[in-house]
Amino acid sequence: MRILIAKHCGLRGALALTPALRAIREKHPGARVTVVAPAAALPMLEGCPGVDVVFPLALSPGPGSSLSLLAHLRRQAFDHAFALTPHGQVRRLAAFSAARRRWTLGRPGLYQPFFHGWGEPAGPDPHEAARDHAIISQALGLTPVPGDCWFASSRMQEHGLLLEPGRFAVIHPVSADPARMLGAHLWSVVARSLLDSGAVDRIVVSCGSDATERVYAEAVCGAVGAAASSTAGRLRLPQLARLLADARIFLGVDTPVLQLAAAVRCPVVGVYGPSDYARARPWGSVSRSVRVDTTPYEGEPAAEWRERIGRAYGRVRADQITRAAEEVLRLA
C-alpha cells in the first residue's frame, strides 16, 4: 500500500501527525508512507520510523516547483492521498495526485469532485493529533483512539550537557510570538522554588538560536543563579529530545518544544494565554496547564479581544505555575 499525506504545518503540526503514522505502521506494516510538508516542519519527521519519504512543500505562489512535485507524485501510484489542512496547495496535491482514494480536512468546495471523503475540522476532540488521526482512520481502518505523539528514542542524539538524568528541570520560556512570553523574573521565581524544594538540582533554560531568545534565557539564568544554565540555542531537535527525555519536568509556554517534551514522556507544565488550548494542549504525558480563558465575548471585536487577553495573560502568577509543577511531580 502506498500512502500520501500532505499537510501545511510547522513543527508542532508535524509532531501531531505522528500518532496516525504509528497507527498506520502497526495496522499496515508494509505500507510506504510519503509526507509532504513545509521545510520548516520536516526536522520533526526526518528519521521517523513511520515515514519512508518526505518532500518539502513549496509555499511560494509560483507554479514551477509545485507542478514538478505533483508530476513526481502522480507517478507513484498512491492508493490513498490525504490533505490534512484546508490549504490550497495541499488540497491540489492530494486532489490531483492520481491516488485511487483521496481524503481532505473540511469540505473540499470546488475540489469536491476529486475527493472521496472528508472530515470536519471540529470532531469529538479538537486536538490536532486527534483530528489528523480521525481523518486517516476512517480510510485505513485504524484504531479509533489515537495514541501518543511519537519521537522514537532511536532518533535522539546526545546533548553533551553534564547533567544527571532525572535531577534537572527544563524551562522553555520563549516563543516566536511575543504575546506568549511572560516576564523573566516570574520564571526565575518558579525555578528557585523547584530548587529550594529539592525536586531538582539544576535548571536548564531552553531557547532558540535567535539573539533575543538567547538574551532572555540568560536573563532567567542570571536571576536564578549558579544552578541554572542556558542551551543558548545550540541544541538541534534530536539533541533537545534527548535532553527532555532525561529531564524530571518541563515547564514552558505554548511552543513545539512543549509538545516535544510530552512526546518523549517528560512530565509537562504548560502556560497558555492567547492560543488555542483545546487544539494544542499537551498530548501524551502527565501534564497540568496554567491558562487564561480565551473565549471571546459575543460580538467582541478582534482588537479588543487581543488587548483583553494580553492583560489577563500578564496576570499569570509564579505560584500558579509552581502549584501545577508540584502536582505533576506527585503524579509522575
Work out the percent of the chain whose per-residue pLDDT is above 90: 73
* CA–CA distance, 122 with 99 (Å, rounded to integer): 26
Q: How much is the pLDDT for 300?
A: 87
Q: How much is the pLDDT for 133?
A: 93
Q: How much is the pLDDT for 151?
A: 95
Residue from 104, 58, 108 nearest 84 by CA: 104
Instruction: Categorize the per-residue pLDDT at 213 as very low, low, confident or very high, splitting at 50, 70 and 90.
Output: very high
pLDDT, average across residues 220-235: 96
**Please, are residues 87 and 121 in contact by the beta-carbon 8 Å criterion?**
no
pLDDT in tens, 27-42: 999 999 999 999 999 9
Domain annotation for the chain: domains and CATH numbers: 2-150 (3.40.50.2000), 154-331 (3.40.50.2000)
Q: How much is the pLDDT for 228?
A: 98
* CA–CA distance, 268 with 259 (Å, rounded to integer): 9
Q: What is the mean pLDDT of the chain?
A: 91
Sheet of strand 101-105: strand arrangement: 53-56, 32-37, 2-6, 80-83, 101-105, 117-119
pLDDT in tens, 301-325: 988 887 888 788 888 999 999 999 9
Q: What angle is formed at CA 329 by the lines to CA 324 and CA 331, rounded to 5 degrees?
A: 95
| Bridge partner list, 270 | 252, 289
pLDDT in tens, 65-104: 678 889 999 999 999 999 999 888 899 999 999 999 999 9
pLDDT in tens, 93-135: 999 999 999 999 888 888 889 999 887 755 668 899 999 999 9
Residue from 294, 3, 28, 9 nearest 128 by CA: 9
pLDDT, average across residues 255-275: 93
- Judged against a pLDDT cut of 70, whether residue 212 lies above it is answered with yes
